[in-house]
C-alpha cells in the first residue's frame, strides 16, 4: 500500500484526481467561493491522493494542532477503583507556541445500574477519538450559524466498532460507549497566548445526542450517536492543517506505535537521511497513552519495539537510541533521565510524505489558501478559539 507520490502543484487550468472510499473525484485548481468553503473543506477532508477507492479506505487524516495536545497524558493516574485526582496539568507546545493543559476526569458507568466512576482519557479513549476522526472522512455534516462553523459526525456503535476493528482494536460495544462517555465529560482547559492569559474550556467532545435502541437481550449496538467535533478539529479542517497517513496499517501496531505513525506523518515534512527526526521518551509520554511503565526504560523498550516494526514495514531504514543523563551526576551508577530516538526515513515514509504534501497543496489552492501563509495559519489555530 502506498499513496501516489508527487510534488507539483496544479496550474489554474488543471484538475487533480482524488479518491474517497466511494468514488474518484476531480478537484479543480480554481478557488471556490468563500461561502462554500466550509462544506467543500469537509468534502476534501475525506478525499485522498491515492490510486483507488479501495486504497482510500486505508488512509486517514492526522490533525497537526489537535494531535499536539496531551489529552491522554493522565492515563497513568487511572485505576480500577475510579479514585483519581481532581485535575492534571501539563505544559506543552502547540504550533511552536507555549501552552498549558489542565485536564479534569470524565465519568462513565461500568453497568447501567452502577454508580458513575471517574476516569481520565486513556488508551481506549484515544482509540475511539481516532476512530471518530476517521469516521468524519466518510460521514460528517456541516452547520454554519452567523459565520460560526461546526462539524458533526453521526454513527452507530456497531459502525464505530467496525472502524476500530479495522484499526486493530478489540474493544466491545460497552467499552466504546464508556469511552464516549469519558470523552464527552472530560473537561480540558487550554491556556495560551501571551503569558498564557487566554483560556478555552470545553469537553473533548463538546456535545452529543444519543438515540438508544435496545433488545430484550440488551443493547445491540444499533444506538445512534451524533457528536460535535471540537473547535480545534474544525479549524484544522478549514485551515488545512492536517495530512493524510496510512491508518489501515495501524492494526499491526500498539497504541504507542499508532501514535508514532501519526506523529511522523505530521510533525516533520522534510525529513531525510541528512535531516532525521528526533524525539525523546518524555515527549512521547505526553502525547500518547500506553507508556505508563514504572521505569522509563520500560517505555523506551516499548517505543523501540514499535520502531522495529516500522523498520520492517519500510518506514524507517534505521534508528538510534541515546541515553540522556543529568548534567550533574551523583555517586554510583548513573541512571538515564530520558532517551533520545533518531529516526532515518525509509521509502514508505518518504512516499507518503510527498503525496501528503501534494494533496495539501491542491486542497489549499481549492480553498483559496496561500501556501506561504501556512506558518501563520498554524499560529492562528489557538487564537481562533477566542473569537
pLDDT tens digit string along 73-90?
A: 999 999 988 899 999 999
Query: 331: buried, middle or exposed (CB in 10 Å: 19+, 13-18, 0-12)?
Result: exposed
Q: What integer pLDDT is reported at residue 302 of this predicted model?
A: 95
pLDDT at 309 > cutoff 50? yes
DSSP 8-state class, residue 217: T
Averaged pLDDT of the chain? 89
Q: Picking from 111-115, 119-123, 281-285, which range would have the lowest pLDDT averaged per residue?
A: 111-115
Identify whether residues 288 and 373 lie together within a single domain: no
Identify whether residues 197 and 271 lie together within a single domain: no
Identify whether residues 187 and 111 lie together within a single domain: yes
Q: What integer is the mean pLDDT of 230-247?
A: 94
Identify whether residues 259 and 233 lie together within a single domain: no
pLDDT at 218 > cutoff 90? no
Identify whether residues 336 and 309 lie together within a single domain: yes
Torsions phi, psi for 44 (to 5 deg): -70, -30
Q: How many domains does the chain have?
A: 2
Identify whether residues 73 and 194 lie together within a single domain: yes
Q: What integer pLDDT is reported at residue 339 of this predicted model?
A: 97
Identify whether residues 211 and 111 lie together within a single domain: yes
Q: What integer pLDDT is reported at residue 329 of this predicted model?
A: 72
The span from the CA of 302 to the CA of 296, in Å, is 10
| Nearest to 219, CA basis, from 185, 166, 178, 168 | 178
| pLDDT classification of 2: cutoffs 50, 70, 90 | low
Q: What integer pLDDT is reported at residue 384 of this predicted model?
A: 67
Q: Is residue 49 part of a domain?
A: no
Identify whether residues 265 and 338 lie together within a single domain: yes
Q: What integer pLDDT is reported at residue 383 of this predicted model?
A: 66
Identify whether residues 214 and 257 lie together within a single domain: no
Q: Is the dihedral of CA 105, 118, 127, 346 positive or negative?
A: positive
pLDDT at 228 > cutoff 80? yes
pLDDT at 10 > cutoff 60? no
Q: What integer is the mean pLDDT of 103-125?
A: 92
Q: What integer pLDDT is reported at residue 217 of this predicted model?
A: 44
Q: What integer is the mean pLDDT of 237-254?
A: 92
Q: What integer pLDDT is reported at residue 214 of this predicted model?
A: 53
Q: Is residue 54 part of a domain?
A: no
Query: 6: buried, middle or exposed (CB in 10 Å: 19+, 13-18, 0-12)?
Result: middle
Q: What integer is the mean pLDDT of 360-372?
A: 94
Q: What integer pLDDT is reported at residue 101 of this predicted model?
A: 95
Identify whether residues 217 and 266 lie together within a single domain: no
Q: Is residue 59 part of a domain?
A: no
Host domain of residue 79: 64-240+368-387
Amino acid at each position: 500500500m502506498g499513496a501516489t507520490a508527487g510534488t507539483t502543484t496544479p496550474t489554474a487550468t488543471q484538475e487533480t484526481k482524488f479518491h474517497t472510499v466511494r468514488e474518484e473525484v476531480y478537484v479543480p485548481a480554481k478557488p471556490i467561493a468563500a461561502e462554500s468553503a466550509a462544506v467543500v473543506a469537509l468534502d476534501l477532508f475525506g478525499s485522498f491522493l491515492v490510486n483507488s477507492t479501495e486504497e482510500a479506505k486505508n488512509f486517514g487524516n492526522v490533525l497537526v494542532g489537535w494531535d499536539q495536545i496531551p489529552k491522554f497524558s493522565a492515563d497513568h493516574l487511572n485505576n480500577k477503583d475510579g479514585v483519581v485526582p481532581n485535575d492534571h496539568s501539563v505544559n506543552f507546545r502547540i504550533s511552536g507556541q507555549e501552552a498549558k493543559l489542565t485536564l479534569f476526569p470524565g465519568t462513565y458507568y461500568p453497568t447501567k445500574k452502577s454508580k458513575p466512576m471517574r476516569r481520565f482519557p486513556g488508551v481506549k479513549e484515544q482509540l475511539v477519538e481516532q476512530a471518530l476522526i476517521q469516521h468524519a472522512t466518510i460521514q460528517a455534516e456541516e452547520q454554519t450559524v452567523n459565520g460560526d462553523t461546526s462539524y458533526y459526525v453521526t454513527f452507530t456503535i456497531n459502525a464505530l466498532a467496525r472502524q476500530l476493528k479495522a484499526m486493530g482494536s478489540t474493544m466491545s460495544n460497552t467499552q466504546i460507549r464508556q469511552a464516549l462517555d469519558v470523552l464527552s465529560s472530560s473537561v480540558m482547559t487550554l491556556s495560551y497566548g501571551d503569558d498564557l492569559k487566554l483560556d478555552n474550556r470545553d469537553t473533548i467532545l463538546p456535545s452529543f445526542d444519543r438515540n438508544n435502541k435496545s433488545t430484550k437481550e440488551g443493547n445491540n449496538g444499533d444506538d445512534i450517536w451524533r457528536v460535535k467535533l471540537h473547535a480545534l478539529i474544525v479549524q484544522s479542517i478549514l485551515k488545512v492543517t492536517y495530512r493524510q497517513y496510512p491508518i489501515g496499517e495501524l492494526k499491526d501496531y500498539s497504541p504507542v506505535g499508532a501514535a508514532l505513525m501519526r506523529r511522523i506523518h505530521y510533525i516533520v515534512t522534510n525529513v531525510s537521511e541528512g535531516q532525521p527526526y528526533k524525539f525523546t521518551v518524555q515527549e512521547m509520554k505526553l502525547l500518547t497513552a500506553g507508556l505508563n511503565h514504572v521505569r522509563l526504560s520500560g517505555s523506551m523498550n516499548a517505543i523501540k519495539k514499535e520502531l522495529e516494526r516500522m523498520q520492517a514495514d519500510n518506514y524507517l531504514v534505521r534508528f538510534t537510541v541515546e541515553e540522556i543523563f543529568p548534567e550533574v551526576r551523583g555517586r554510583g551508577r548513573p541512571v538515564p533521565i530520558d532517551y533520545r530516538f533518531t529516526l532515518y526515513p525509509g521509502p514508505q515514509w518518504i512516499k507518503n510524505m510527498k503525496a501528503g504534501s501534494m494533496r495539501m497543496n491542491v486542497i489549499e489552492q481549492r480553498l483559496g489558501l496561500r501556501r506561504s501563509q501556512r506558518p501563520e495559519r498554524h499560529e492562528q489555530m489557538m487564537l481562533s478559539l477566542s473569537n
